[in-house]
Structure 1
């Protein structure tokens, strides 16, 4: 990978165990495809890593958003969020790579894997 972690992750759980670090170069197409294969619920749209999360009600949606906000703060890597009553759309990309032109970095995939774990743990009735 253009900006490799210490060990190349082989599962989404491996990816979620990594931490974000400052990146200057975007990933190439091969690296994007390799990491995207670990996150089948996520799609690539207009240069962003995207997923829509569904919930039973607004309370659960906001509980997820709050947990996601805490995680993204600790990782210093913040997504675009679109929040509705029963959904939260999450869009990751890295603005700082490619001399500010943007693109996808390993950080986007790390945070996406962490978001999946938050979602899995949030599927318990309040």
Structure 2
């Protein structure tokens, strides 16, 4: 796992720079389980996590929600039976910012911690 999970999100205002294509490639190497999807012209990071049951998926969702509040950066979270889909993107810049990769790495860390 990269060191991204050790970083803190920075305040991201309208007009903040999105990641460049080069940064996207580099940051994607640090978050290899995440896919970049474009929805309505907006790039987003997405990953689907699988669980043994709904209760574990729900507990994971709660932890990701706490992360979002702690970082003041909020993803789309879809909770389903035995799986959770998380999408990170920066609403203010309508695309991907380094914050999204930081939160993706922290989300992965939450998932790993729940597997023990």
Do they superpose with TM above 0.5? Answer: yes
Q: Give the CA deviation at 1:94.
A: 0.4
**RMSD over aligned Cα atoms:** 0.9
**1:17 match:** 6
Aligned to 1:70: 66
* Count of aligned residue pairs for this structure pair: 109
Higher strand proportion (structure 1 or 2): 2
CA distance, structure 1, for counterparts of residue 95 and residue 11 of structure 2: 13
The aligned runs of 1:32-47 (5 Å cut-off) are 32-46=24-38, 47=43
Q: TM-score, normalization: structure 2?
A: 0.90
Superposed structure 1 runs of 4+ greater than 2 Å apart: none
Structure 1 unmatched ranges of 5 or more? 1-10
C-alpha distance after superposition, 1:10-54 (max 9, x if no partner): x52x10000001121111111111101111111111111110000
For normalisation by structure 1, the TM-score amounts to 0.83
Residue among 89, 111, 115 paired with 2:107: 115
Q: 1:60: how far off?
A: 0.2
